[in-house]
Amino acid sequence: MPTKTIFIRSHELPAAIEVEIAEPALVADLFEAIKHAGIAIDADTVIFIDEAEAPHPMASNMPATDLKRGSHVHVTKCKKIEVTINYLAEAATHKFAPGSRVRRVKAWAVDKFKLSAHDAEEHVLQMCGTTRRPASDTPLNELTDGKACAVCFDLVPEKRVEG
Protein backbone atom coordinates (compact mmCIF):
# COMPACT_ATOMS: atom_id res chain seq x y z
CA MET A 1 0.00 0.00 0.00
CA PRO A 2 1.46 3.39 -0.94
CA THR A 3 2.21 5.89 1.83
CA LYS A 4 2.98 9.58 2.18
CA THR A 5 4.98 11.55 4.71
CA ILE A 6 3.14 14.09 6.86
CA PHE A 7 4.15 16.11 9.91
CA ILE A 8 2.22 16.10 13.20
CA ARG A 9 2.49 19.37 15.15
CA SER A 10 1.16 20.22 18.58
CA HIS A 11 2.01 22.49 21.48
CA GLU A 12 2.60 19.21 23.35
CA LEU A 13 5.53 18.33 21.09
CA PRO A 14 8.97 19.98 21.11
CA ALA A 15 9.13 19.69 17.30
CA ALA A 16 7.11 18.35 14.38
CA ILE A 17 6.94 14.54 14.22
CA GLU A 18 7.39 13.00 10.78
CA VAL A 19 5.09 10.02 10.13
CA GLU A 20 4.13 7.82 7.21
CA ILE A 21 0.41 7.43 6.54
CA ALA A 22 -1.54 5.29 4.06
CA GLU A 23 -2.46 6.86 0.75
CA PRO A 24 -5.37 7.53 0.49
CA ALA A 25 -5.93 8.01 4.21
CA LEU A 26 -9.03 7.96 6.35
CA VAL A 27 -9.45 10.15 9.43
CA ALA A 28 -9.02 6.92 11.45
CA ASP A 29 -5.53 6.54 9.92
CA LEU A 30 -4.77 10.12 10.88
CA PHE A 31 -5.95 9.47 14.47
CA GLU A 32 -3.65 6.45 14.64
CA ALA A 33 -0.68 8.52 13.42
CA ILE A 34 -1.45 11.22 16.01
CA LYS A 35 -1.73 8.60 18.77
CA HIS A 36 1.58 7.08 17.61
CA ALA A 37 3.15 10.57 17.95
CA GLY A 38 2.15 10.49 21.64
CA ILE A 39 -0.78 12.89 21.53
CA ALA A 40 -4.10 12.01 23.17
CA ILE A 41 -7.27 12.93 21.30
CA ASP A 42 -10.41 13.77 23.27
CA ALA A 43 -13.75 15.43 22.59
CA ASP A 44 -12.16 18.92 22.68
CA THR A 45 -9.40 18.10 20.18
CA VAL A 46 -9.54 19.62 16.72
CA ILE A 47 -7.29 19.00 13.74
CA PHE A 48 -6.24 21.55 11.16
CA ILE A 49 -4.39 20.58 8.00
CA ASP A 50 -1.75 23.08 6.92
CA GLU A 51 -3.18 26.63 7.12
CA ALA A 52 -6.85 25.65 6.77
CA GLU A 53 -9.28 28.15 8.29
CA ALA A 54 -11.67 25.47 9.59
CA PRO A 55 -11.01 22.25 11.49
CA HIS A 56 -10.98 19.00 9.55
CA PRO A 57 -14.09 16.80 10.07
CA MET A 58 -13.39 14.24 12.80
CA ALA A 59 -15.54 11.29 11.61
CA SER A 60 -13.25 8.23 11.61
CA ASN A 61 -14.64 6.70 8.43
CA MET A 62 -14.28 9.88 6.33
CA PRO A 63 -11.37 10.44 3.98
CA ALA A 64 -8.66 12.76 5.32
CA THR A 65 -9.24 15.36 2.64
CA ASP A 66 -6.59 17.95 1.81
CA LEU A 67 -3.91 15.71 3.34
CA LYS A 68 -1.02 15.81 0.88
CA ARG A 69 2.55 14.62 0.96
CA GLY A 70 4.37 16.99 3.33
CA SER A 71 1.20 18.34 4.97
CA HIS A 72 1.44 19.70 8.50
CA VAL A 73 -1.34 18.42 10.77
CA HIS A 74 -1.98 20.71 13.74
CA VAL A 75 -3.53 18.95 16.74
CA THR A 76 -4.99 21.44 19.19
CA LYS A 77 -7.84 22.44 21.47
CA CYS A 78 -7.95 25.91 19.85
CA LYS A 79 -10.33 26.51 16.96
CA LYS A 80 -8.93 30.03 16.61
CA ILE A 81 -5.98 31.79 18.16
CA GLU A 82 -6.49 35.39 19.22
CA VAL A 83 -3.42 37.40 18.32
CA THR A 84 -2.72 40.80 19.84
CA ILE A 85 -0.09 42.96 18.20
CA ASN A 86 1.36 46.07 19.82
CA TYR A 87 2.96 48.71 17.62
CA LEU A 88 4.07 52.05 19.04
CA ALA A 89 1.11 53.26 21.13
CA GLU A 90 -1.46 51.12 19.28
CA ALA A 91 -2.73 47.58 19.71
CA ALA A 92 -4.77 45.43 17.36
CA THR A 93 -6.35 42.00 17.79
CA HIS A 94 -7.35 39.42 15.19
CA LYS A 95 -8.25 35.71 15.27
CA PHE A 96 -6.27 33.28 13.10
CA ALA A 97 -6.44 29.55 12.44
CA PRO A 98 -3.94 27.52 14.53
CA GLY A 99 -1.91 26.57 11.45
CA SER A 100 -1.46 30.19 10.36
CA ARG A 101 2.18 31.09 10.23
CA VAL A 102 3.91 34.06 11.81
CA ARG A 103 4.53 35.55 8.34
CA ARG A 104 0.76 35.73 7.74
CA VAL A 105 0.26 37.49 11.08
CA LYS A 106 3.00 39.99 10.24
CA ALA A 107 1.42 40.67 6.82
CA TRP A 108 -1.90 41.36 8.57
CA ALA A 109 -0.17 43.68 11.07
CA VAL A 110 1.67 45.56 8.32
CA ASP A 111 -1.66 46.19 6.60
CA LYS A 112 -3.49 47.01 9.84
CA PHE A 113 -0.90 49.54 11.00
CA LYS A 114 -0.36 50.83 7.44
CA LEU A 115 3.42 50.38 7.43
CA SER A 116 5.31 51.30 4.29
CA ALA A 117 7.10 48.49 2.43
CA HIS A 118 10.41 49.84 3.77
CA ASP A 119 9.19 49.89 7.39
CA ALA A 120 7.66 46.43 7.00
CA GLU A 121 11.03 45.02 5.94
CA GLU A 122 12.72 46.50 8.99
CA HIS A 123 10.22 45.20 11.58
CA VAL A 124 9.70 41.75 13.07
CA LEU A 125 7.25 40.15 15.46
CA GLN A 126 8.60 39.58 18.94
CA MET A 127 6.62 37.77 21.62
CA CYS A 128 5.40 40.23 24.25
CA GLY A 129 7.61 40.60 27.29
CA THR A 130 10.43 38.53 25.79
CA THR A 131 13.23 38.76 23.26
CA ARG A 132 11.87 35.71 21.41
CA ARG A 133 11.32 36.30 17.70
CA PRO A 134 9.73 33.20 16.16
CA ALA A 135 10.73 32.26 12.62
CA SER A 136 8.29 33.40 9.96
CA ASP A 137 7.26 29.81 9.17
CA THR A 138 6.30 29.01 12.79
CA PRO A 139 2.62 28.02 13.14
CA LEU A 140 0.71 29.94 15.81
CA ASN A 141 -0.39 26.69 17.45
CA GLU A 142 3.22 26.09 18.54
CA LEU A 143 3.33 29.45 20.31
CA THR A 144 0.41 28.69 22.64
CA ASP A 145 0.52 26.70 25.84
CA GLY A 146 -2.53 24.69 24.83
CA LYS A 147 -4.67 26.24 27.55
CA ALA A 148 -4.95 29.85 26.38
CA CYS A 149 -5.76 30.21 22.71
CA ALA A 150 -3.95 33.52 22.48
CA VAL A 151 -0.58 34.95 21.49
CA CYS A 152 0.80 38.47 21.98
CA PHE A 153 3.44 40.11 19.79
CA ASP A 154 5.21 43.43 19.69
CA LEU A 155 6.03 44.70 16.20
CA VAL A 156 9.58 45.95 16.71
CA PRO A 157 12.52 47.10 14.59
CA GLU A 158 14.71 44.16 13.63
CA LYS A 159 17.84 46.13 14.52
CA ARG A 160 18.05 49.06 16.83
CA VAL A 161 20.52 51.68 15.61
CA GLU A 162 21.99 53.73 18.42
CA GLY A 163 23.67 57.00 17.72
Please tell me the number of Cα atoms within 13 Å of 122 on its side-chain side: 9
DSSP-based three-state secondary structure for 107: helix
Q: Can you tell me whether residue 47 is helix, strand or coil?
A: strand
- Could you state, in order of their start, the residue ranges of all structural domains in the chain? 3-76, 81-157
Instruction: Answer yes or no: are the C-beta atoms of 49 and 66 closer than 8 Å.
Output: yes
Q: Is the peptide bond before 24 cis (omega within 30 degrees of 0)?
A: yes
Which runs of E-coded beta strand occur in 43-119?
Answer: 46-49, 72-76, 81-87, 90-96
Which CATH number is correct for 3-76, 3.10.20.90, 3.40.718.10, 3.30.565.10, 3.30.720.210? Answer: 3.10.20.90
Over its length of 163 residues, how does the chain's per-residue pLDDT go in tens digits? 789 999 999 988 888 999 999 989 999 999 999 998 899 999 999 999 999 999 999 999 999 988 999 999 999 999 999 999 999 999 999 999 999 999 999 999 999 999 999 999 999 999 999 999 999 999 999 998 878 999 999 999 998 655 5
CATH code for 81-157? 3.10.20.90
